[in-house]
Amino acid sequence: MSAPRLPGMRTLVTGGAGFIGSHLVDALLQRGDTVHVIDDLSSGRRSRLPQDPTVWEIDITDAASVTAMIAEAQPQVIYHLAAQIDVRASVADPARDAAVNVGGTINLLQAARPVEAKIVFASTGGALYGMEAPIPSDEQVQPAPEAPYGTAKYCAEQYLGLFNRLYGTRHTALRLGNVYGPRQDPGGEAGVVAIFAGCAHRGQQPTIFGDGAQTRDYVYVGDVVNAFLAAGDTRPGGVWNIGTGQETSVLELVKHISQAADRNLEPVFAPARPGELQRSALEAAAAQRDLGWIPATPIEEGIARVYAWVHNGQPDRAAL
């Protein structure tokens, strides 16, 4: 059950200048919250944010700065999205990945205790359940990550649960599917929807690694923001999948983007990446039951919005 939300809550979004975080900041401001943002701006951009939130340019691995900032801002809810998100970077430098994704989370947990703030943590579903997981995977499936990134996210989840047991806190983890939407960098290494939409707009051929049959659970960023809002307003802590439960292959993505762009995309095929999951989808019935959350955006509609955003010049302040 959801708790009544006090008007004008004090909230903090780590990674708030990022793709998902900036949309979440907008939603929190729209409902009347006081919002602070932590972002080291290594990949986030201030231009994604309105003027309202106070932005603290802090690395979450800097425990002293994180503690001082939280003591000053006194947030009631901390939405923790700051992370090292590149799977390949985690393989190349697992110590750095763990320092950010585990150590940074511990820093926030420690700093949140004196102010009694609840943490809502952006975990991963796609990188957590592993090769042998049933499809769609629910929260009862034993995690078996294939890369340091998924391992670190699962470890951070365990620290949230530990603090809940030790201190009676109400921290929550959301295991996200493959999030896509406006503001996702179409020139980056992650976010295949934005990358392919950028290729379509420029008249380039997208590259598919493997045969294109591999599937993911693509969930629209506006729906993900609603999940964070619901989780922040719910009393008990817990772990919930946030996905559609539907598999979409890379080849199907190409078809959807071709329709949105009104042009036929002819992909180039490259060797499959080692260790890549062949199938992934998240069962989110528990989130519907406990948080009242459902994914409302059909993938065709979401992809059309992404392509329109790319076509319009990729504005940093694009709305959902």
Catalytic (active site) residue 167: no
- Among residues 149, 159, 180, 307, the one annotated as catalytic is 149
> What are the residues facing 179 on neighbouring strands?
219
Q: Which are the catalytic amino acids?
A: 149
